[in-house]
Amino acid sequence: MKILFINPAANLGGAERVLLASLQAVQSYLTQDVHLLTLEDGPLIGEAERLGVRVHVVRTPDQILQWSEAGQLGVVSRMVPQPVRSASHLVASVLPLTRTLAALRKQVQQIQPSLVCSNGMKTHLLTAAVVRRDIPRIWHLHDFIGQRPLACRLLRQAVCRNTFGVAVSHAVRNDWQQHVPSLQTSVVHNGTDVEFFRPHVTNTGPMDVPRTTRIGLVATYAHWKGHGLFLDAMANVVRQANRNIACDIVGGPIYSTLGSQISRTDLLQRIQQLNLERYVRLVDFQNKMDDVYRNLDVVVHASTRPEPFGLTIVEAMASGCGVIASAAGGVPEIVTHEHDSLAVPPNCVDSMSASLRRLISDDHLRRRLGQEARETVKRRFSNEQFAVKIAEIYRQALSPQNAPVRNRIKPICSADLSAP
């Protein structure tokens, strides 16, 4: 029995960290013969190999990796980049796609998987062209499909009777059920390692000065992650703060998709415009993200559009940080306002500024929220809970019954697994 995971990227964003947890779950509960196929090189490969996973790379041309509806490139007619302004553009796009599909098909045939798990929008579409229809396939749904009307149309055509979806939140499942109704979808909330992400014992670290409150935004450089909103709120706060403040923006551009990310230069310019050079520094993603959270007192989630889930929120909560979260999409399934976090409306600088002031000035509130946040994660979002649920879905997908996968897995959609 072989399980093949296909992921478009090889960096370590939220979807990739969840993928690593899925790989561990499969090895712990099902089989040791696990394969990962990626479309590019990156740190994900080394992390997967350390787990004992066999990794294969089909290096894919930039014309394909950079496709994105959200980035104003779009796809037409089976993912040809848009706008296509001339016949030469069309030819230049079709040939790399044809070669990539041939290489992927050959690699899948060599592996001969019993189950294929796709971990991204691009690979959902590509698997429809390179995986035999009799092989069960699971699409891991990390994004809202309703924001991508062309992808909706293509994915509706790509669903076959052996295709099943696993959504990271009820918000994502509801969106897919609305736009791709033929895809039977269940919910498994992402998990995190509650032993790896733990509260700091003392308030020390490289930025430590007396009475300094450390604030962080941990996010990729995607436009919608709210870096500008966060900096505007920080500008409001530092003008009235009665104690020292230090702020880290932790992250970077990790995906190849064109038009989807801000640049480091843009952020530095914005910091200068707001006179925040004394307070804010940019920090790349770290190998040991647990140390990042341990050196933060407050973690802000500032996404300006609905978040499918919010793995950094869960990691910060497990680390005992005071969390401020933009309450849209899957986020309300994670946090409870005034109990384990402060929830704010999306795109509201005033609400974010007010919440920052509260957590900066009220140490007792911040500690209480952090303690409750860790208990929430231990109770509902541990890796152990995630592994059991996801492995059961894979097990049922691999069952020898003749019924379609979506019918075999339907019992998994129980209150135990789906309730927020």
Q: What does the pLDDT read at residue 324? A: 98
Contact between 322 and 299 under an 8 Å Cβ cutoff? The reply is: yes
Residue 96 — φ and ψ, nearest 5°?
Answer: -60, -35
Q: How many angstroms separate the CA atoms of 332 and 327, rounded?
A: 6
Q: What does the pLDDT read at residue 30? A: 87
Give every CB contact of residue 102 below 8 A, 6+ residues apart in sequence. Answer: none
Q: What does the pLDDT read at residue 92? A: 60
- SS3 sequence, 322-351? EEEEECCECHHHCCCECCCEEEECCCCHHH
DSSP H helices in 131-243: 149-158, 170-179, 227-238
Q: What does the pLDDT read at residue 249? A: 97
| Cβ count within 10 A of residue 349 | 18
Which helix (DSSP H) or strand (DSSP E) does residue 218 occupy?
A: strand 212-218
Given the structure tokens 């733990």, which residue do they identify? 198
Q: What does the pLDDT read at residue 201? A: 61
Digits of tens for pLDDT over the chain (420 positions)?
Answer: 899 999 998 888 888 999 999 999 998 888 889 999 999 999 999 999 999 999 999 987 766 666 665 543 333 333 444 444 434 444 566 778 888 899 999 999 999 999 999 999 889 998 888 999 899 999 999 999 998 888 899 999 999 889 999 999 999 999 999 999 999 999 999 999 999 999 976 544 444 445 689 999 999 999 999 999 999 999 999 988 767 899 999 998 866 555 568 899 999 999 999 999 999 999 998 878 999 999 999 999 999 999 999 999 999 999 999 999 999 999 999 999 999 999 999 999 999 999 999 999 999 999 999 999 999 999 999 999 999 999 999 998 887 653 444 343 433 333 333 333
Q: What does the pLDDT read at residue 183? A: 95
Q: Which domains does the chain have, with CATH numbers?
A: 3-191+383-418 (3.40.50.2000), 212-380 (3.40.50.2000)
The helix/strand/coil state of 378 is: helix
Q: How many angstroms separate the CA atoms of 97 and 103, rounded?
A: 10
Contact between 82 and 73 under an 8 Å Cβ cutoff? The reply is: yes
